Amino acid sequence: MEQIRNYIDKNKGRFLDELFGLIRIPSISAKKDHKPEMYKAAEYIKKSLLDAGVTKAEVMETDGNPVVYAEKIIDNSKPTVLVYGHYDVMPVEPLELWKTPPFEPEVRDGKIWARGADDDKGQLFMHVKAFELMVKTQTLPCNVKFMIEGEEEIGSPNLGKFCEQHKPMLKADIILVSDTGMIAQDIPSITTGLRGLAYWEVEVTGPNRDLHSGLFGGAVANPINMLAKMISQMVDDNGRITIPGFYDDVLEVSKQERELLAKVPFNEDAYKKAIDVIELSGEKGYSTTERTGIRPTFDVCGIWGGYTGEGSKTVLPSKAFAKISCRLVPNQNHEKIAILFKEHFESMAPKGVKVEVKIHHGGQGYVCPIDLPAYKAAEKAYIESFGKRPIPVRSGGSIPIISSFENILGIKSILMGFGLESDAIHSPNEKFPLFNFYKGIETIPLFYKYFAEM
Amino acid sequence: MEQIRNYIDKNKGRFLDELFGLIRIPSISAKKDHKPEMYKAAEYIKKSLLDAGVTKAEVMETDGNPVVYAEKIIDNSKPTVLVYGHYDVMPVEPLELWKTPPFEPEVRDGKIWARGADDDKGQLFMHVKAFELMVKTQTLPCNVKFMIEGEEEIGSPNLGKFCEQHKPMLKADIILVSDTGMIAQDIPSITTGLRGLAYWEVEVTGPNRDLHSGLFGGAVANPINMLAKMISQMVDDNGRITIPGFYDDVLEVSKQERELLAKVPFNEDAYKKAIDVIELSGEKGYSTTERTGIRPTFDVCGIWGGYTGEGSKTVLPSKAFAKISCRLVPNQNHEKIAILFKEHFESMAPKGVKVEVKIHHGGQGYVCPIDLPAYKAAEKAYIESFGKRPIPVRSGGSIPIISSFENILGIKSILMGFGLESDAIHSPNEKFPLFNFYKGIETIPLFYKYFAEM
């Protein structure tokens, strides 16, 4: 432990400089014209891993953005940890809300400010540096493999196939991931559940062109009015989603587990203040922690149609669009839900409009049992670095590929996330506290140590 | 009549060239940076009127775009006709749907294709040319004044004040306007009613920033979901608007007048085919002609919020917006309705979001009795030029300033519109048939003749 802290102290400035080099590459996977940046980021990671001590590193092609694979095999009789992370980031709009440019990282108030500072460049870089630390201090206790992809933020559409094609290469005993959060800097936690995701784009078409709202208004169905009506019918007054069959596979969480969940520290006033809302709302009969952890949701992520420019234009538009997503809970099948919604929403089309639903990417939920050896090893690592037993929590977020790993590779994942809720991932002014970055680098080698001992 | 047709025949090419010069000026009043174009269009009209024979013409300042005023007083004992029109046009988005550029007019299939070809550059230019015809053929039977504004498409925010300030200058016996349509080329009609208008922009604010829809989804009200819910509650299942007090001042139209309205030729199949909708919809208990003519409406003209770019972004947005308008019927007060909606909509704000409604411009409806002398004169003019008695119809559109003329100047308006529904005003590929353009120039002098005789 002494040795770990010393190594970090001596190298902390360089760690940061190297991370900033990665952050400066605007590797936004949702934008097709950012392809060169994706390769640049992949090559950067390959070089970082070689510098850190892997014996083999490769930028491997997929049908989409490349995957960086690297490994250091020290002894085939020892266990193998497969580190997963992603070098792609979310779009940065609305740009005008950023206090400093998203791809020009800087340290203010003890935090790194930039897109990707936390999700996931900052967190994946902790693994590169923790690995370097173990190599340089000759404490690496087991084999390590790295698989760093560039399409996580668009649903990892090609990583499943990549895993299918490279099963022997990816053979490991556990997958180690830092792409989630912890409760607070003094309350470490390990994510034991992830929600699944289904995502759609809907298009409502009324007349074949924008019409004069005076000459036609009142007689022709307005696609925006109709889209609003359809959306409003998707969630009832109790906050329950109305898609027929939607809850069929939702496992009701036991009274015992809900009692444990109720012990997760939650300060409603602070939560509301942080996002500036007066009242919270959601599914009746569930707490905020439950609403985000163990219950599915229905959110419109974007909507557009008609005249949205300056001033007023009296138009009855031809089309209206929305991007819609549902967070799902572990036992729900995202492909089944995607079709249930599509069929239901298209069948709801009011008189005079046509409705078309396109299915975007989705993913399954995931559960990590707390009696898994890897969980026990992680727990010990946190106890040593934080001086506290970590709390097992269910996250509301989705990392669809985690359940695919289990299905395709047959390997469980352990989610050691070091982000904070206040890091504003996916939002303007994303940040990552230096404390968390260095604490991650300190905790990860301890996990390797205890995991190799199990 | 012979003389009128001869003059038009000899000059028709020049009339068109001169109109094209006006159309080429992109005088879009909704765009603030188009100010220079507004002055250019005003000066163009001033010159056209001077060339046509007015004795005085002026580009007069307002707090917004200028008004062109011109006159030719031949005898103070004779009646005076005040011609009203507007040189501003609607925005042209979406540009990609235009077959030819909106401000490069061309004649195809016997029609003029351009923004403003009908609304209102084409129609106001008929008056300039009809006036020229009467002057050059020495048949002008009365005094004429012109008031051509540049803010009709944004609700004439400064013309009321202009009228207040120039009452003596604007004194007249009738206001003559061509800014409406007729049923078909072989079915002339005169617009006897106009709908009023109220227009709002609404802003729904949830959390203070865009949130990760996984970490917060289900526990925090989504402003798009909430806006959709609020919009959906504004119109009930019978197509009735639910704003309390909204219908208080709506005069139910008599059975007798509804029977007359039922005689307006209407081909539902052709109407549906033209706009490519399978079914029409609207307020229960009313026909399509009634829904657009004598009943108020609620239309969302534009909506936006959240992520609307390429691909998918899982975001719980901070804000959602909509532009909303109601068409009103003659006895409804637009200012009262504007406040009724604002108060109602803001009070509906669901838990966890704030709602703000901004009132945009609005206007009163208008009715022209069919026993008005000007109506009788117009009727005679159409009978002579078209060989058919025109049908009195109520238009669904709004020209808010028409009712202001009545209130401020105490002068009735006669609405001799020559546009067709298929002209696609306010839409891409606006057009105006040459037949209608020349037929207007032919009919207008006949109106002057019969009106001066009354």
The nearest CA of chain B is from the CA of A144 a distance in Å of 30
Label residue B254 exposed, middle or buried (CB < 10 Å: 0-12, 13-18, 19+).
Answer: exposed
Q: Tell me which chain B residue has its CA closest to the CA of residue A227.
A: B228
**What architecture does CATH give domain B2-194+365-453?**
3-Layer(aba) Sandwich (3.40)
* Closest CB to B313 among A90, A278, A327: A90
Q: Tell me which chain B residue has its CA closest to the CA of residue A304.
A: B304
* Under 8 Å between Cβ of A252 and A258: no
- Which amino acid is present at A304? W
DSSP characters over A430-443: -EEEHHHHHHHHHH
Q: Find how far residue A306's CA is from the centre of its chain.
A: 32
Helical (H) or strand (E) element with A84 = strand A80-86
The nearest CA of chain A is from the CA of B190 a distance in Å of 15
Q: How many residues does chain A have?
A: 454
Contact call for A281 and B155, based on CB within 8 A: no
User: Which two structure tokens, joined as six digits, stand for B299?
Assistant: 């239309």
Which residues in B lie closer than 8 A to residue A312 (C-beta atoms)? 30, 154-155, 199, 201, 301, 323, 325, 360-361
CATH topology assigned to domain B196-250+296-363: Alpha-Beta Plaits (3.30.70)
Which residues in A lie closer than 8 A to residue B277 (C-beta atoms)? 206-208, 220-221, 352-353
Which residues in B lie closer than 8 A to residue A225 (C-beta atoms)? 231-232, 235, 298-300
* Closest CB to A214 among B206, B311, B396: B396
Q: Tell me which chain A residue has its CA closest to the CA of residue B362.
A: A312
* Closest CB to A361 among B181, B280, B312: B312
The pLDDT tens digits along chain B (454 residues) read 899 999 999 999 999 999 999 999 999 999 989 999 999 999 999 999 999 999 999 999 999 999 999 999 999 999 999 999 999 999 999 899 999 999 999 999 999 999 999 999 999 999 999 999 999 999 999 999 999 999 999 989 999 999 999 999 999 999 999 999 998 999 999 999 899 999 999 999 999 999 989 889 999 999 999 999 999 999 999 999 999 999 999 988 888 778 877 878 889 999 999 999 999 999 999 999 999 989 999 999 999 999 999 888 889 999 999 999 999 998 899 999 999 999 999 999 999 999 999 999 888 899 898 889 999 999 999 999 999 999 888 888 888 789 899 989 999 999 999 999 899 998 999 999 999 999 999 999 999 999 999 8
Q: Estimate the crossing angle of helix A2-23 against helix A434-453, to 10 degrees.
A: 120
Closest to B218 in 3D by CA, of A238, A261, A56, A47: A238
Q: What separation in angstroms does the CA of A307 have from each of A336, A355, B205, B340?
A: 35, 20, 20, 24
User: Which two structure tokens, joined as six digits, stand for B241?
Assistant: 């608007």
DSSP characters over B179-241: -SB-SBTTB-EEEEEE-EEEEEEEEEE-SSS-EEHHHHTTTS--HHHHHHHHHHTSB-TTS-B
Q: Which residue has the tokens 């760690």?
A: A15
Helical (H) or strand (E) element with A50 = helix A35-52
Q: What separation in angstroms does the CA of A75 have from each of A142, A172, A176, A223, B209?
A: 7, 13, 19, 64, 49
Closest to A189 in 3D by CA, of A423, A416, A440, A436: A416
Contact call for B317 and A309, based on CB within 8 A: no
Contact call for B228 and A277, based on CB within 8 A: no
Backbone angles phi and psi of A337, in degrees to 5: -65, -40
User: Which two structure tokens, joined as six digits, stand for A359?
Assistant: 């299915």
User: Distance (Å, rounded) from C-alpha A390 to C-alpha A378?
Assistant: 9
* Closest CB to A207 among B277, B283, B360: B277
Dihedral sign for Cα atoms in the order B124, B129, B133, B134: positive
Q: Find how far residue A54's CA is from the centre of its chain.
A: 27
The nearest CA of chain A is from the CA of B254 a distance in Å of 20
Contact call for A395 and B297, based on CB within 8 A: no
When scoring B29, B65, B152, B220 by the number of chain A Cβ atoms within 10 A, the one with the most, hence best to mutate, is B220
Contact call for B317 and A327, based on CB within 8 A: no
Contact call for A301 and B314, based on CB within 8 A: yes
User: Distance (Å, rounded) from C-alpha A212 to C-alpha B153?
Assistant: 12
User: Distance (Å, rounded) from C-alpha A346 to C-alpha B207?
Assistant: 30
Contact call for B301 and A307, based on CB within 8 A: yes
In this structure, the dihedral spanned by the alpha carbons of residues A90, A92, A94 and A100, taken in order and rounded to 10 degrees, is 140
When scoring B33, B93, B225 by the number of chain A Cβ atoms within 10 A, the one with the most, hence best to mutate, is B225
Q: Decide whether A2-194+365-453 matches A196-250+296-359 in CATH topology.
A: no
When scoring A120, A209, A234, A290 by the number of chain B Cβ atoms within 10 A, the one with the most, hence best to mutate, is A209
Span B324-357, pLDDT tens digits? 999 999 889 999 999 999 999 999 999 999 999 9
DSSP characters over A97-132: G-SS-TTS-EEETTEEESTTSSTTHHHHHHHHHHHH
Q: Tell me which chain A residue has its CA closest to the CA of residue B424.
A: A211
Q: Find how far residue B128's CA is from the centre of its chain.
A: 19
DSSP B423: G
User: Which two structure tokens, joined as six digits, stand for A292?
Assistant: 């985000």
DSSP characters over B64-110: SS-EEEEEE-S-TTS-EEEEEEE--B----SGGG-SS-TTS-EEETT
The nearest CA of chain A is from the CA of B51 a distance in Å of 34
* Percent of residues in chain A assigned helix, strand, coil, to nearest 5: 40, 20, 40
Closest to B162 in 3D by CA, of B89, B90, B91, B86: B86
DSSP B242: -
* Closest CB to A93 among B216, B276, B309: B309
Name the pTM for this structure. Answer: 0.77
* Closest CB to A299 among B225, B304, B361: B225
Q: Find how far residue B375's CA is from the centre of its chain.
A: 20
Which residues in B lie closer than 8 A to residue A300 (C-beta atoms)? 222, 224-225, 228, 306
Task: Compute the C-alpha angle A405/A409/A414, nearest 5°.
Answer: 50
When scoring B215, B289, B295, B398 by the number of chain A Cβ atoms within 10 A, the one with the most, hence best to mutate, is B215
Task: Show me where the domains of chain B are located.
Answer: 2-194+365-453, 196-250+296-363
Alpha helices by DSSP H, B24-73: 35-52
Closest to A81 in 3D by CA, of A121, A133, A159, A141: A141
* Closest CB to B91 among A275, A305, A313: A313
Q: What is the pLDDT of residue A22?
A: 98
User: Distance (Å, rounded) from C-alpha A330 to C-alpha A333?
Assistant: 8
Per DSSP, what are the bridge partners of residue B89? B28
- Which amino acid is present at B286? Y
DSSP B409: I
Q: Estimate the crossing angle of helix B373-386 against helix B434-453, to 10 degrees.
A: 130
The pLDDT tens digits along chain A (454 residues) read 899 999 999 999 999 999 999 999 999 999 989 999 999 999 999 999 999 999 999 999 999 999 999 999 999 999 999 999 999 999 999 899 999 999 999 999 999 999 999 999 999 999 999 999 999 999 999 999 999 999 999 989 999 999 999 999 999 999 999 999 998 999 999 999 899 999 999 999 999 999 988 889 999 999 999 999 999 999 999 999 999 999 999 988 888 778 877 878 889 999 999 999 999 999 999 999 999 989 999 999 999 999 999 888 889 999 999 999 999 998 899 999 999 999 999 999 999 999 999 999 888 899 898 889 999 999 999 999 999 999 888 888 888 789 899 989 999 999 999 999 899 999 999 999 999 999 999 999 999 999 999 8
Q: Tell me which chain A residue has its CA closest to the CA of residue B352.
A: A279
Contact call for A225 and B296, based on CB within 8 A: no
CATH topology assigned to domain A196-250+296-359: Alpha-Beta Plaits (3.30.70)
Q: Estimate the crossing angle of helix B35-52 against helix B2-23, to 10 degrees.
A: 160
Q: Tell me which chain B residue has its CA closest to the CA of residue A268.
A: B219
User: Distance (Å, rounded) from C-alpha A434 to C-alpha A418?
Assistant: 11
